[in-house]
Every structure is written in structure tokens, then in C-alpha cells.
Amino acid sequence: MANRAGEGLRAAVIGVGYLGRFHAQKYARMEGVKLVAVADSQYERAMRVAGELGVEAVRDYTDLLAKVDLVSVVTPTHTHYSVAAACLSAGVHVLVEKPMTMTLEEADGLIALADKLDRVLQVGHIKRFHPAVNALESRGLLLRPHFIEAHRFAPFKNRALDVDVVLDLMIHDVDLILHFVDSKVTEIEAVGAPVVTGHVDMANARIRFENGCTATVSASRVAKEATRRMWIYQDNELIELDFIRNGVVLTRRGAGVREMDGIQVPVIEETSLPVIPHDSLEAEIHSFCQAVRKISPVRVSGRDGRQALDVVMTIRRRIAESGLGGAS
Ligand code: NAD
């Protein structure tokens, strides 16, 4: 299986439905990587994507494990554990989509397997690779957040309806917040409600951290308009991220005062940071390949994926305990 010197990495994508097709496209175009095959238990899907990209199609992913160094697992979440475990056991590095697994026990199982076999296990929390997040992190602007508010609202779509909005959408902001705050979670409150699917379609959670930071996170998949924004308050500064418009705006107290309605108020300075647009999925997959090559560490590890899953599981429990959440 070991990567043969000079020949590049051999990749495959398992599950080429909505998202897996995009994974396959990125590998097919990536320098130093050869997309060998795509697998889907609905063989016609594998055939269609394989035809588009000129690679082999297989129905049973176990048929391709001897031919590749790494895979993306982009199957429905309830299959992530069994598929990813089989890949790791065959010595293949794994990028598994989010949510990492259905349970914490399954997440622990994958982490232990990857550790034991010294394979890369990355979790597809793609927002870590978002241009606005890169703009923030590359400038070292994040110091010690005191309060974070996140809104992720999406119009209703006929996708991911087998899970609730917490596992589908809210987990993105939870992962980012855990990454930004980097402190132990001490308390979680949450409310949520089914609106159209019978599962929780809107949810709000308040997460408190040991270092004193609090975050509130709201997610809906029955909104009129798409909104994906985050506000981070730290000493003397508000950082506003807009994940749709690729915007990062810093609001700070400027020098001096000005008059407002007859009284003197501080001057407030707003600065828009330049955000360099890029394809987040391509950046995520490139980063996975660099980790497999041991050129850089894994950016979103199995432990990160487990931590986000742990928090969203607690949020779902709190909603269920409130008696308002419907079937989850
Ligand atoms: P999808 O239903 O469109 O595609 C899943 C595909 O996997 C289907 O074609 C199905 O036939 C195939 N499949 C199922 N079991 C299989 C198996 N054992 N072997 C091979 N193929 C199998 O789903 P999707 O919307 O593409 O979502 C897939 C995963 O990606 C989910 O876990 C979802 O949460 C995640 N996702 C992540 C993001 C993100 O922003 N990171 C966005 C969308 C989806």
C-alpha cells in the first residue's frame, strides 16, 4: 500500500452522491494525486461519476482498497464507522465526512484504529478551510474570545433529512467555535423544534467554556434566506465573519470622540479584511494529502471530529430533555 516514490498518491472516493462527486472532481484535478476509482453501492452513480472523470467504477468499495493509498468516505453518516474502519484496517488513509460517526464509541473506535495502524484520519469539517477563516487565522487576529454568536440558516432542501439540523448544519459552527475557543466545555443548554420534517429543524444552543467564554449557536433549515455569520467579541474588538459573502470585518474603538445626538461618543473604526477566495473543498483535500505525505499535520483530526460530535450529541440530548424536540 505504501506510497511508491515519485508516483504520487492513489486516491478513491467511496459514496459519490451529492458531495462525493465533488470530492472525486477535486482529486481528479489535484497535482501529485491519481484518482484511481470511485465506489457507490448504487452502481449507476459510480458509473456516471467514473465516466465523467475517466476512472474505474466499483459497486463494492472493498474491491478497491488494495489499489489506493487514501480515500474520502462520503457515504451516509450511519455507514461512516463500518466503511472507514474497513479502509483503515486495510492500511488506507481516510478523510471521513462530517459528522464523523453516529456515536462517540464509533468515533473512539476509528481514532484507536488510526493510531494503532499509523494512518491519517481526517474529518470533513470543511469550514476550517473557509477563506474567511483563513483570513482571520493567517493574521493571528483571534486572541481570547469572550462571547461568540453564530447563525447558520438555510432554506429548506430535500437533503440530509435523515438527520436533524444539529448534526447537519449546527455541527459546522460547533467545530469552528471549539477550535477558536480551545477550552473545556463546562455547560450546554439547548432548545429546538421540528418544523416540517419531524426531526429538529431549528435549534439554539448556549455553550459555556472553562475559560469564561460563552457561545450561542443557532441553526435552521427552514429559513426564508440563507445566512451564515459569526460574531466574535474579544477585548476591545468585534470580529464579524460572513461565510456567504466571504467577509471579515473588524470593529474597534478608534482614536478620539465624535458628536452623536448632542453627546460625545467614541469614534468606531470598521475595517474589512482582504479575503482571498479559494475552493474550500480543494483546500481540505489538499491538506489531507499533505498530511498523508507527512508534510503537514492533520488540520482536522479524528479527535477534533469526536469533540464536535460530543458537543452536538449533548445539544441533541438537551433538546430531547426539553420535551420540545420531536423525533431525532
Ligand atoms: P448522498 O445520499 O447524496 O450520497 C451518499 C452516497 O453514498 C449515495 O450515492 C449512496 O448510494 C452511497 N452509499 C451508501 N452506502 C454506501 C456504501 N456502503 N458503499 C458505497 N457507497 C455507499 O449524501 P451526501 O449529501 O453526499 O452526504 C454524504 C455525507 O457527506 C454525509 O455524511 C453528510 O453528512 C456529509 N456532508 C457533508 C457536507 C459538508 O459540508 N462537509 C455537506 C454535505 C454532506
Asked if 43 and 57 count as a contact pair (C-beta separation under 8 A), the reply is yes
pLDDT band at 158 (very low <50, low <70, confident <90, very high): confident
**Phi and psi at residue 313, in whole multiples of 5°?**
-65, -40
What is the distance between the alpha carbons of residues 253 and 150, in angstroms, rounded to a whole number? 23
Residues sharing a CB contact under 8 Å with residue 80, sequence separation 6 or more, in sequence order:
73, 96, 97, 99, 100, 101, 102, 106
Question: What is each CA distance from 24 to 55, 92, 190, 291, in whole angstroms?
Answer: 10, 17, 37, 18
Stretch 234-252: mean pLDDT: 95
Pick from 124, 212, 140: nearest CA to 175: 124
- Closest Cα to atom 25 of ligand 1: 18
Q: Would you call the peptide bond into 266 cis, given omega within 30 degrees of 0 as the criterion?
A: no
Residue 326 CA to ligand 1 center (angstroms) comes to: 24
What is the distance between the alpha carbons of residues 238 and 322, in angstroms, rounded to a whole number? 33
Q: What is the pLDDT of residue 162?
A: 79
Asked if 208 and 214 count as a contact pair (C-beta separation under 8 A), the reply is yes
pLDDT band at 160 (very low <50, low <70, confident <90, very high): confident
Residue 231 CA to ligand 1 center (angstroms) comes to: 31
Q: Edge to edge, what strands does the sheet with 214-220 contain?
A: 185-194, 200-209, 214-220, 147-153, 227-234, 237-242, 247-260, 263-272
pLDDT per residue over 130-145, tens digit each? 999 999 999 999 989 9
- Ligand 1 and 79: CB distance under 6 A: yes
pLDDT per residue over 194-220, tens digit each? 999 989 999 999 999 999 999 999 999
Query: Ligand 1: which atom is nearest the Cα of residue 82?
Result: 18
Q: Euclidean distance between the first and final Cα of the chain, in Å?
A: 40
**DSSP sequence for 44-73:** HHHHHHHHHHT-EEESSGGGTGGG-SEEEE
CA triple 13-15-19, angle to 5 deg: 90
Residue corresponding to grid cell 448504487: 42
pLDDT per residue over 19-64, tens digit each? 999 999 999 999 999 999 999 999 999 999 999 999 999 999 999 9
- Ligand 1 and 42: CB distance under 6 A: yes
Q: What is the pLDDT of residue 11?
A: 98
The average confidence (pLDDT) of the chain is 94
- Ligand 1 and 20: CB distance under 6 A: yes
Stretch 231-257: mean pLDDT: 95
Ligand 1 pocket: which of 97, 159, 282 to mutate (most atoms within 8 A of CB):
97
Backbone Cα Rg of the chain: 21
- Ligand 1 and 309: CB distance under 6 A: no
Query: Ligand 1: which atom is nearest the Cα of residue 77?
Result: 32
